[in-house]
């Protein structure tokens, strides 16, 4: 209930809704706790909800508490709430802040940042948010010098009447005029928290005597601290003891299992907790979750009473955290023996991660013993993540500073180093390990000896100390084997195999790679199994044992097929095809290559597609071994040998060349020659050279841009015998040609290429133009094609300020293209009018309807972007400030880049959009249309119109998005029978439920439900459909954090924020083997196969909130 703050709330609402204030800071006079900051912020958030359609997010930073949330953890939490996957969030605080700003750009979001009471947190969230967003920040106090864009709201204490009104609401009764409460409330200063605590006390089973409160308190006016002292002194002994023990939880928040550990063996612990909640001294934060108000928690920590009981509670809690940490450690490393060796029995159930800050803070305050070191080590996985990294390192450093005993200190060093390495900071881990001298580490044996040897092996391998790494890793394998730690032995074996490959000892790498693959497969760790199999494949590839390599590649392919990773399976098939070619089995190679190309249909993995296509061509047309020959002009450089080394290093460190044997190189007169295996795709190979070689040359002091000649063809002789091969001489002749030198001299700062007609044909075989280069065909006097010179592409829009400003607006408001894609989807759905016409294909539109589609797109763009309908043009953008409006035309094509213009178009800015609903792809760009960019078309139905020239499409269009995904028209892609079954039910819920029965295992956009709902509320109908599907065991999840976690656990494609995913689940049984599982509620589930029985979900599962 709000008392006396309604006017403040209304003023804040007006400021935020109007955009006058986008950052509002709420605090209280005298930094008073319990002043109602949070309640006010949340009330204002409810009042302005309609102004922020993209969401409102609340995060408690605990800034005034004993364990504040570190800034990087706070930013990480907000990004997760906004839907950013954890793996897509950077590690460094500045980068995380930039990522948050980028995630908010183009959206209308309200952030309620609660208790940002440290200078670091205030600096982090007081910055100006992107346009359309707002932030409400609450804090105990405000430092001077805040930015000018911040508005401040200061709360005062309640008046006597306000305190009386709030107390009456808390007591749920009217206070009479002669009640002693009236003089009590008028005699002192009251803040909302104190009034609520008073009301809870008066409502309790043991209320105070009002005369005592009025006359015997001994403190006038009565402060919050004084009131809490009175309140706690009048608690029964059992309640007071439990309250002081629960306050040992350093964050002030804890779960029911933590409460049991803190209170020890007390009768009816849950009733005791409920009593403390009813008396207002504890708050219920969720199912089995409790917490203190910050002021109450601080007061309890400031008291000296119950010191013995609190010490015993801390010891019990630390032991509990040892088991909880062991559970976390074993869940990530099934088969490990470390928890058993540390005498840390895992918990029967896995706790939510809310206990981790409590554990780290407890270690920071009290953990100096071996038990504390064990907990610290078992929590290394949490310490490697951004949400807990700062707290973990703070606890580790405090532990090391306070611990003089060598063994716990060594464990603390190991724990911190492991967390730093797993968090992607091997250099920091190396410096941490140096705190112990190498002889001491070598002599020390104990429960962590195997894991320490593994860490040292990884660190020395990262620093290039290969011999030392192999020694440490061999020791780690031996120690893990002696401990019967199968996970540790498998991990050490895999790293050892990689170390042998780094040492160019592939034969030695085979045995540990085989061992790692077998152990990981037995432990059911699919991702690690895949890594081990890929390492084994690399080992056999380096040994030249093609039969063994073929077996390994087939295992790799089967592994990725089981995990439904189509791109990875296709790459494995392409590599298999090349191995089969080397074994002289072209028919099998053709089959593998065709299978790879089929899997890559619709994929954007061009390198894998080209590798598969090369294998297919080789299998169909066997002949002399084809190679790519690259000649680099070394005449501008100081050392031909140095240039050769730079070029080969550039290729070997890239992604196109995957094995050393794919590359051979030498110098020859004024050039260096590179011979690349036919399996390496030409496009990615030349892209890497063009992108990375100039920087690599500059790094070694060579500033001249590279000039390269490229030829693709069979080499009749060994590359060592250069003078006798026609292809090599032809490549060097292109490099020396006068036309190439003349054209390349025009580009003194950019790389240029001269490629043979064969190479040019290979580059453009799939019909895609060379977007980054302009081709110049060079012919002989007889008209024969000699070569093609590729020069950097000039941009006609480089000096067009209007075009660039409009492009920047698109990029800022729509950084990922989802908004423009949504506008296209809305446009197409409106044009099809599915619910009334039954049409699903844009090709069914008649001529006038097709023309009106562009008009629908104009309307959609005006809704999605700050555009208006123009008077003389289709659209107009009116920038803020005094800048002139920017009018522009819109052209939409559904049949490729065939936009129609008047042949007399003069200096018109145009947004060109190309979309293919059947392929679910779209492109959009901006162009300044001039007569020289147009060519007339001779098609009768388009008489008098013109289209862009090929050159204009390549060089004059500034592409905002190329070949981007369009929200799928799901019904269009279904077969007729399935579509008819979905549309058969007469009501929207029935159609929606049938849709989720038949379209499972893949995310579908919410827009796909439009023809089924026919204008009805999709959220409500989806929830009702979920209830219908509950008896069938069909789960429907949304693209929120919970839904993405479920999809990831089941190895399904994760739904985006505006997507839904349905899947039938079955209870996990032993017969399911290593199929991916997910724990939901009280059960463990797998994706149901056709022979799995139907398992109905219980009432209330899944909860409707999971779809919100």
Smallest CA-to-CA distance from 708 within 725, 692, 726, 724 is with 692
- Which residue carries 């505006």 as its tokens? 1058
Q: What token pair was written down for 367?
A: 């953990």
Sign of the torsion angle spanned by Cα atoms 581, 586, 592, 597: positive
Give me the pLDDT at residue 438, please. Answer: 41
Sign of the torsion angle spanned by Cα atoms 925, 928, 929, 935: negative
H/E segment holding residue 887: strand 886-893
DSSP 535-601: HHHHHHHHHT-HHHHHHHHHHHHHHHHHTT-HHHHHHHHHHHHHHHHHTT-HHHHHHHHHHHHHHTT
Give me the pLDDT at residue 1000, please. Answer: 92
Q: What token pair was written down for 879?
A: 């920038």
Strand partners, 674: 630, 665
How far apart, in whole angstroms, are the C-alpha atoms of residue 280 and residue 173?
Answer: 18
What's the gap between Cα 274 and its chain centre? 39
Contact 86, 111 (CB under 8 A): no
Phi then psi for 963, rounded to 5 degrees? Answer: 55, 45
Q: What token pair was written down for 369?
A: 């013993």
Which DSSP category does 968 fall into? P
Give me the pLDDT at residue 439, please. Answer: 40
Contact 409, 370 (CB under 8 A): no
Give me the pLDDT at residue 395, please. Answer: 83
What's the gap between Cα 524 and its chain centre? 25
Low-confidence residues of the chain, pLDDT below 50? 1, 217-219, 437-445, 717, 719-720, 723, 766-769, 771, 940
Which DSSP category does 945 fall into? -
Contact 558, 517 (CB under 8 A): no
SS (H, E, C) 698-726: HHCCCCCCCEEEEEEEECCCCCCCHHHCH
Check: pTM over 0.75? Answer yes or no. Answer: no
Q: What token pair was written down for 441?
A: 């580490």
Q: Is the peptide bond before 1102 cis (omega within 30 degrees of 0)?
A: yes
Smallest CA-to-CA distance from 707 within 675, 747, 669 is with 747
| Strands of the sheet with 110-114, listed across from one edge | 56-60, 110-114, 134-138, 23-28, 150-155
How far apart, in whole angstroms, are the C-alpha atoms of residue 823 and residue 853?
Answer: 12
How far apart, in whole angstroms, are the C-alpha atoms of residue 589 and residue 614?
Answer: 11
Torsion (CA) 956, 957, 962, 968 in degrees, nearest 10: -150
How far apart, in whole angstroms, are the C-alpha atoms of residue 921 and residue 966?
Answer: 5
Give me the pLDDT at residue 445, please. Answer: 47
How far apart, in whole angstroms, are the C-alpha atoms of residue 568 and residue 957?
Answer: 34
**pLDDT for 410-424, tens place per residue?**
777 888 888 888 888
Torsion (CA) 742, 743, 749, 755 in degrees, nearest 10: -120
Q: Is the peptide bond before 975 cis (omega within 30 degrees of 0)?
A: no
SS (H, E, C) 583-597: CCCHHHHHHHHHHHH
Cβ neighbours for 520, distance < 8 A, ≥ 6 positions apart: 490, 494, 528, 529, 532
First to last CA, the chain: 26
């Amino acid at each position: 209930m709000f008392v006396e703050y309604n006017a403040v709330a209304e003023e804040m609402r007006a400021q935020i809704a109007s955009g006058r204030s986008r950052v509002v800071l709420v605090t209280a006079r005298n930094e008073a706790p319990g002043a109602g900051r949070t309640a006010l912020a949340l009330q204002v958030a409810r009042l302005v909800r309609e102004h922020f359609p993209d969401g409102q997010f609340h995060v408690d930073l605990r800034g005034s508490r004993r364990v504040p949330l570190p800034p990087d953890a706070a930013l990480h939490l907000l990004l997760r709430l906004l839907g950013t996957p954890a793996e897509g969030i950077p590690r460094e605080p500045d980068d995380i802040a930039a990522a948050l700003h980028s995630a908010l750009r183009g959206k209308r979001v309200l952030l309620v940042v609660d208790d940002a009471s440290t200078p670091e947190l205030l600096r982090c969230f007081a910055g100006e948010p992107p346009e359309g967003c707002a932030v409400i920040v609450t804090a105990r106090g405000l430092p001077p010098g805040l930015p000018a864009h911040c508005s401040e709201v200061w709360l005062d204490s309640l008046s006597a009447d306000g305190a009386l009104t709030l107390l009456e609401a808390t007591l749920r009764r009217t206070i009479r005029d002669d009640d002693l409460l009236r003089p009590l409330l008028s005699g002192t200063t009251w803040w909302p928290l104190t009034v609520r605590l008073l009301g809870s006390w008066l409502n309790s089973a043991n209320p105070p005597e009002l005369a005592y409160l009025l006359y015997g308190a001994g403190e006038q006016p009565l402060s919050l601290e004084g009131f809490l002292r009175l309140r706690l002194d009048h608690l029964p002994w059992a309640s007071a003891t439990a309250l002081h023990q629960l306050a040992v939880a350093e964050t002030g928040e804890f779960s029911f299992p933590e409460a049991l550990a803190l209170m020890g063996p007390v009768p009816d612990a849950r009733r005791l907790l409920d009593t403390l909640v009813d008396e207002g001294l504890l708050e219920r934060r969720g199912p089995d979750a409790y917490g203190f108000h910050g002021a109450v928690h601080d007061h309890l920590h400031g008291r000296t009473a119950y010191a013995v009981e609190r010490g015993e509670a801390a010891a019990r809690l630390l032991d509990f955290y040892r088991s909880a940490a062991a559970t976390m450690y074993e869940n990530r490393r099934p088969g490990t023996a470390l928890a058993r060796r540390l005498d840390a029995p895992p918990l029967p159930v896995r706790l939510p991660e809310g206990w981790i800050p409590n554990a780290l803070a407890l270690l920071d305050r009290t953990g100096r013993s071996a038990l504390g070191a064990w907990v610290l080590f078992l929590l290394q996985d949490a310490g490697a993540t951004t949400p807990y990294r700062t707290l973990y390192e703070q606890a580790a450093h405090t532990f090391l500073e306070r611990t003089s005993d060598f063994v716990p200190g060594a464990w603390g060093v190991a724990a911190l180093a492991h967390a730093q390495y797993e968090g992607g900071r091997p250099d920091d881990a190396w410096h941490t390990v140096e705190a112990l001298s190498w002889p001491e580490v070598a002599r020390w044996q104990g429960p962590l000896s195997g894991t320490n040897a593994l860490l040292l092996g990884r660190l020395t391998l990262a620093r290039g100390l290969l011999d030392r790494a192999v020694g440490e890793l061999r020791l780690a394998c031996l120690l893990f084997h002696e401990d019967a730690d199968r996970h540790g032995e498998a991990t050490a074996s895999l790293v050892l195999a990689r170390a042998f490959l780094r040492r160019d000892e592939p034969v030695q790498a085979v045995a540990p790679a085989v061992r790692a693959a077998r152990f990981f497969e037995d432990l059911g760790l699919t991702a690690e199994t895949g890594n081990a199999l890929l390492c084994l494949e690399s080992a056999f590839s380096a040994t030249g044992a093609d039969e063994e390599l073929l077996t390994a590649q087939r295992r790799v392919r089967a592994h990725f097929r089981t995990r439904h990773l189509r791109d990875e399976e296709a790459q494995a098939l392409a590599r298999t095809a090349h191995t089969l070619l080397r074994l002289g089995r072209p028919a099998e190679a053709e089959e593998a290559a065709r299978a790879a190309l089929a899997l890559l249909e619709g994929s954007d993995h061009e390198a894998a597609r080209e590798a598969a296509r090369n294998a297919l061509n080789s299998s169909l047309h066997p002949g002399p071994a084809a190679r790519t020959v690259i000649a680099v002009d070394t005449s501008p450089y100081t050392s031909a040998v140095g240039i050769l080394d730079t070029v080969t290093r550039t290729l070997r460190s890239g992604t196109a060349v995957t094995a050393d044997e794919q590359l051979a190189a030498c110098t020859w007169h004024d050039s260096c020659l590179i011979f690349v295996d036919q399996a390496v795709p030409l496009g990615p190979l030349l892209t890497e050279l063009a992108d990375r070689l100039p920087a690599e040359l500059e790094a070694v002091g060579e500033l001249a841009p590279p000039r390269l000649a490229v030829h693709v063809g069979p080499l009749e002789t060994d590359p060592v015998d250069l003078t006798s091969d026609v292809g090599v001489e032809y490549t060097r002749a292109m490099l020396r040609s006068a036309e190439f030198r003349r054209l390349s001299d025009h580009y003194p700062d950019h790389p240029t290429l001269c490629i043979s007609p064969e190479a040019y044909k290979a580059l453009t075989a799939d019909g895609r133009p060379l977007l980054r280069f302009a081709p110049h065909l060079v012919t002989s006097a007889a008209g024969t094609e000699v070569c093609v010179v590729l020069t950097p592409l000039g941009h006609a829009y480089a000096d067009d300020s209007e075009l660039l400003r409009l492009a920047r607006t698109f990029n800022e408001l729509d950084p990922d293209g989802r908004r423009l894609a949504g506008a296209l989807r809305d446009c197409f759905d409106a044009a099809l009018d599915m619910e009334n016409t039954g049409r699903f294909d844009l090709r069914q539109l008649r001529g006038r309807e097709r023309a009106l589609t562009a008009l629908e797109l104009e309307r959609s763009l005006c809704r999605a972007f700050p555009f208006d309908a123009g008077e003389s043009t289709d659209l107009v953008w009116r920038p803020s400030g005094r800048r002139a409006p920017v009018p522009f035309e819109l052209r939409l094509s559904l049949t490729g880049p065939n936009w129609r213009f008047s042949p007399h178009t003069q200096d018109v800015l145009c947004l060109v959009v190309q979309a293919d609903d059947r392929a679910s792809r779209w492109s959009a760009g901006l162009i300044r249309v001039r007569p020289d960019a147009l060519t007339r078309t001779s098609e009768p139905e388009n008489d008098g119109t013109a289209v862009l020239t090929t050159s204009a499409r390549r060089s004059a269009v500034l592409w905002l998005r190329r070949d981007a995904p369009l929200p799928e028209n799901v019904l269009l892609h279904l077969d007729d029978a399935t579509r008819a079954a979905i549309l058969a039910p007469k009501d929207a819920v029935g159609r929606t439920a049938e849709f989720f029965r038949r379209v499972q295992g893949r995310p579908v956009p919410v827009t796909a439900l439009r023809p089924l709902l026919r204008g009805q509320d999709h959220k409500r109908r989806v929830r009702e459909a979920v209830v219908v599907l509950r008896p069938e065991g069909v789960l429907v999840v949304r693209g929120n954090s919970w839904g993405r976690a479920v999809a990831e656990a089941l190895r399904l494609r994760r739904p985006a924020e505006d997507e839904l995913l349905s899947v039938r689940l079955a209870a996990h049984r032993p017969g399911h083997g290593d199929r991916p599982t997910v724990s939901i509620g009280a059960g463990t589930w797998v994706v149901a196969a056709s022979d799995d029985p139907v398992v109905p979900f219980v009432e209330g599962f899944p909860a409707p909130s999971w779809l919100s």
